[in-house]
Amino acid sequence: MAAAFGVASFATALHAPARDRASLRPACAVARRRRNVLTRATIAGGASSSAFARAPRSSRPVRAAKSRPLQSIFLFFEGDRPSGAPNDAPSPRRSPAARLRAATPRDRPRPRLTTSSTPPSNPPNPKPPSSRRAGGQITDVSQIEIPTDLIEIRAFVRWEEAGKPEDTSPEWQAAEYARARLDLQLEALSGVSLNDMRRRYNQDTVDGDDDPMFPGVDANAILTAGKNVNYVANPENNAVAVSVDEWNDGDGDGGEFNKPTKTVEPEVWIEPEPEPVGVYQSTRGPSDLKELTLSLREHGDDRDDELASAQSKTFMTRWAGEGPGKRLPEKMINQRVYPIGKDAELLVQMYQVERSDEEAMSGARSKVARRRVVFTTDATEDFVLHWGVARDEPGQWLLPPKALWPEGTEIVSEISVETPLLQTEGCLPVQGVDGNEDDDACYPIQTMTIDLPGEGPLELMGMQFVIRNADGTSWYKDEFNGNSNFRANYAQAREQAVTDEMLDTIIRAEAGNGWWTLMHRFNLASSLIEQKCGAHSSLETDGKKTRRAEIAAAAKIYVWLRYSSQRKLTWQRNYNVKPRELSAAQSKLTRTITDVYRSSPHLRDIARLMLGTVGRGGEGGQGQQIRDEILNIMHRNNIGERKGVWMEEWHQKLHNNTTPDDIVICEAYLAFLKSDMDVSEYWRVLSENGVTRERLESFERPIKVEPTPRPHIKVALIKDFTNYLAILKSVHSGADLVECLKAASRKGLAVSHAMNYVRVAQNGGGDALQLLAACVDARHEIRDAGLANPNAADEGLVRELMYLDLAVDDVSRRAVERAGEADYGLDEQMYLAELVGENLALSLPSTNEDVVLALTEWRRVREAKTAGDATWALRAKAVVDRVRLSVSLHADAVANDMQPAANEIGRACGIESWSVDLFAEEVIRGGPAFALSLVLSRLDPALRAEADMGAWQIISPDPAIGFVKRVDALASVMNDTFDRPTILIADKVGGDEEIPAGAVAVLTTCSVDVLSHSAVRARNGGVLFATCYDEILLENLSQHVGDAMKVSVGKGEQIVWEEVDASAVDAAAANGAAGAESRNHIEGGLRLDNIPFCGKYTVPLSEFKQGVVGAKARNTRALNESLGGGKIPKWIRLPKSMVVPFGTLEHILKDPINASVARELMNLEAAVDDSSEESLATTLKNCRACVRTVQPPKGMIEEISTAMAAAGIDPPEDEDRWDLAWRALCDVWASKWNDRAFVSLRNHGIDHADLRMSVLVQPVVDADYAFVIHTANPSSNDATELYAEVVVGLGEVLVGNYPGRALSFSVKKATAAEAATGTKYLADGATPKVLGYPSKNVLLKIPRPTIIFRSDSNGEDLEGYAGAGLYESVPMDKESTLHADYSGDALVWDAETQRKVLTKIAEAGVAIEAALGGVAQDIEGVVKDGEIYVVQTRPQV
């Protein structure tokens, strides 16, 4: 043992990697066993050995200045020898220094600090002159010889008590070894024998060592002899740095010695030099970014079947949904399932019986005649209900009237009774593996029913109750509400019944008055996650679990935990939690979240966010270390446990209820120490981290005073609290990089070059771009270590990897902020954008596919730039627009998932309104998506300049004059009618909105297709419409909100504006020159013919005539006739077609089968309310839902089937397929009542009742590309130039106004005469010019051959009114929505393919225009295997 635990080997044990400590484990284990004995043993003289474990610890060695060699600080004693010493044993609760003070009446020894520039690495036992043992005479404590093996064991115990610090210096280790020897020398001096020490440490005894070494010796005289002996202070003597404060003020009682006449100079803390950052060069080759994507489809739908759902639900949960309570005649008001103990649950169901009250003064109304509360539990032990009733307020306890008592009820107090629950049996059906129900499974249950009076003089609003077992040894309350009483409250039941059950549970717990702490919150969160998220979720929607419901539940829990981490919710209320209990609750929650991450790929995004709100925790030992180590620090530094002292107040707070606030307090105290006791630094750190004086004083154990300056032990305290901060972070903080690295390393993760660079450079220094590259490389390494396939990795490893990933992500965010201050060139900015995008993809493991595909194309754009591709900037701009769109959609998803829950929890818990209102925005701004948005905003102007693009894209060029108004979204004001000309600045425009009446201009930063519905309506109505790519420009115009402005298109296709007098707006409006304001309404309105039903449900192509079918169908007939007559080339293909004619819906509504639907629709139409956007949306939605319930009259389906077959269209093959077809047809009819169409008709004076809908039926072509052509360029009104837009997949992405831009091009046409001959369609030398590359993020594909039902109303293509695009076209089979991958698309990247396809599209457009008399056409079509299909055409408006 002597060789095993010298100082050098002791240092090795402290600092060796875990894998290298194996050889030390046996010795360490022995030391631990000895340490365990230490707390139980009693040493000679009656002193507890644990007292000696708290021997005074001095200031530690100071890190030397750079120009000086390392030095160690040691001590020797000087002072007069005192006379006399008491013989009584020292107090077992005092440190050795304190006991020595108590033992000496006056003149204690005074320590003096000195230095040694060459501290020995392994100090031998002291060999003082005249050393004696066993009764011999000594003159100095250093002469007491202690066996080396005992010193080494004591040194190890001290290291454990210090929290097992791992980054100690050799000087500290040498000093600790000397302190360990001094501890034992002091014991020996007090009369403890060497064998007593050996027995305490479980060592073999040695003959002759049972007697005290120095009986009758004057201990105080020995201690003060240091002055006379005057040994040189080094480890060969008792070299130990003991501060004056330790000896003078150790217990805070002033001591019994005189104060020294000389003062000791305080030590100086020299901040360690930061590690050199160096240069980082990534050695990781380009990764396959697509490996980062997670296709949820790959995981199948096995978790969505009802069998799994039934198996995962508890019996009481199933009883609530499937038991007899669902079939009772009474109306259910509310039901809840509560946990009772560890294994049981209690179901409380509330019913009431309502009857008509004919005598009511206000007329007949519903009246509550009776109420009923049913209790059911699956507990195995007998339960008794202890209950009372409430009449005036929910918390009231009143003695229930005897008429309400069930059998067996007994009175137990003036306000309560008790009733035993009845034993019975509950049976539920069991599903077999084939999904069919087998025999019922029956279980023992207990139940009871209590009837309460309804409305009237005896009305009761509910009841309060608790549950106990039969012998009264266990009582159960509402664990979800701070262990308050259960309540069945009818006054709140109706409201509760329609609220979210999970939010209700959270709010009841948080907003209640019962006890509540972080521990309870974490335990409840663990329970809710297990119930609602992941592999064992019991969530159901329409009988099946859905991923969407689980995501929503997880988002609510995250909102709750984030509020908690932000100190918006109480961390302690009427309850004290031991640190080990809190630590265990944290650990359980983090393991639960980790399990969700491993088992549920669709929840990984939110699981990461949840984990970031909770500290790592531990299984008790780590939490207990918080409690123990603060005492160890105080004792080591002789800081007394004295009221009114800052450290004691903090100690009491830590002992009572440690929270994450303690990390901030510790950091503030360290700042105070390092600033030479500047208390303003203490308050600065607290304030910057959200801990105010009021918060400190609000703790149950408040901190009211400021830290006490202790300059003489400053260095020791800095070292101790630096180590203590690591302990606090290990429990309360999850994202501290160093702590995360340590934790992950213990799980076997090697610290790579990238990871180490991130660690060194995280707080500054080095290049931000290099740091970001290191962060991305490190995150890939973390992913490869277990996060790529977490379900196959160790759970503990996955948790530590998640924490480490969060920590590195946090560093990357700071790196992006630093990069914003750097002056990078264009190439570096593009590389920066790639790194930040890749970092975002790593942060969204569930939903990163869109970002990954955009990044893949971005890499190709960077390669194109390097290769000298002239179109690289235009391509780059498209990718930037796509990524911005992706970030915007991500932000919308966050807001939709989280803000409603934030509102509910925030308002119920009294959180300040600004925190509630900005919750989702702050989540987004604090994440990597916002960082990417900032980078792209800085990059965008440079790309536009390189692409020779201006700041504006002009969609409709008409000038306008009006008053400026800013709105969040164009859709939010679509229903409005502005009473004066208005220039709208809209933050969001989707392209499918109607231009509101009175709007003369729409300006936005959103990319909108030139051929979108909004664009067409703007051009049709003379509205100025433009997209601004420079947010600052549009922000400048926004400063004029409310002002009168004139806006027009200036030189270089730029929007210019000038402020005008308000009277100029009025004059322009009066003269019809304001813009669209005077053109939005057609004088007298338009009148649509009231078209009657033609007498049959279908018409063939040959009968596509005016008054029977719409313009789409008539143009389809014209195209077919032109194709047959040779007017258009044969290579243009036309789909087969048939039509369900005008008036069909109105006709079948008159059939008796739809009589009730017709009456309901008439009432709903009369109730349409356009007074607000919300009321209009709701009332029209009701109309659409009603139309979807229409049934086909007898023979109708057969007639349609026959007509399809005759037209060459394959009809649906079975009843299920016909059901899909009928639903699609009804959806087209129902689109008559969509918001956009209703507003458009109203604004143009068209009677909605006159609108009729025919439906064009065609087979769907599974397109490679879809296109829309305007044969006259709509942006420039140039009739000699064709303009077209192309998307990948089905055309609904284009005509349905999906966000983003399509690939757009223009080309000069041949003359009309040349085109009419069919010999030439494009001008000489003309080739398609790409104007913009695609930025739409999705494409649509059909899963199988199917048909589409196209709307074809009588309200389209009217003179002065472009009604096309207002109504829906619906495929029989729902399209598959996929993220578009342009990185390998030949149309985008292969020049020859691009030329051929675009030329073919353009030639088809010119040929059709020529065939239809030279009238400009709006044409829709697709490309399939190189062939051109034209599905419809209409005159271009």
Tokens of 1023: 């509205």
Residue 146: how many CA atoms within 13 Å on its side-chain side?
31
Strands 365-377 and 383-390 turn out to be unpaired
CA distances from 1319 to 1125, 1307, 1416 (A): 16, 17, 19
Residues 6+ apart with CB under 8 A from 539: 532, 533, 545, 546, 549, 550, 553
3-state secondary structure of 886: helix
Query: What's at 178, amino acid-wise?
Result: A
H helices, E strands: number in the chain: 48, 35
DSSP character for 998? E
Residues 6+ apart with CB under 8 A from 1429: 1132, 1133, 1134, 1135, 1261, 1263, 1421, 1422, 1423
Beta-bridge partner residues of 116: 72
Residues 6+ apart with CB under 8 A from 941: 1030
Which listed residue (1013, 1147, 1244, 1270) is catalytic? 1013
| Longest distance between any two alpha carbons in the chain, whole Å | 132
Distance CA 62, CA 74 (A): 11
Q: Is 867 exposed, middle or buried (0-12, 13-18, 19+ CB in 10 A)?
A: exposed
Residue 739: how many CA atoms within 13 Å on its side-chain side?
20
Residue 888: how many CA atoms within 13 Å on its side-chain side?
18
Q: Of 251, 268, 257, which is closest to residue 111 (Cα–Cα)?
A: 257
Q: 452-455: long-range contacts at Cβ-Cβ below 8 A with a sequence spacing of 24 or more?
A: 452/370, 452/371, 452/372, 452/373, 452/389, 452/404, 452/490, 453/370, 453/371, 454/352, 454/353, 454/367, 454/368, 454/369, 454/370, 454/371, 455/367, 455/368, 455/369
Tokens of 1043: 């002002």
Strands 1253-1259 and 1138-1140 turn out to be antiparallel
Query: What's at 1216, amino acid-wise?
Result: D
Is 1013 one of the catalytic residues?
A: yes
Tokens of 1295: 């005509």
Name the residue with tokens 């302990």. Answer: 727
Q: Is 906 exposed, middle or buried (0-12, 13-18, 19+ CB in 10 A)?
A: buried
Q: Of 1183, 502, 327, 346, which is closest to residue 905 (Cα–Cα)?
A: 502
Distance CA 1258, CA 716 (A): 84
Residue 701: how many CA atoms within 13 Å on its side-chain side?
21
3-state secondary structure of 1343: coil
- Helix (H) or strand (E) holding 445, with range, is strand 437-453
Q: Of 356, 355, 318, 352, which is closest to residue 332 (Cα–Cα)?
A: 352
Q: What is the CA radius of gyration of the chain?
A: 41
CA distances from 51 to 217, 639, 837 (A): 21, 15, 58
CA distances from 163 to 175, 218, 275, 722, 1327 (A): 17, 35, 25, 11, 76
Query: What's at 712, amino acid-wise?
Result: H
**DSSP states along 1344-1359:** SS-EEEEEEETTSSBT
Distance CA 185, CA 451 (A): 79
**Looking at the annotation, which residues are catalytic?**
1013
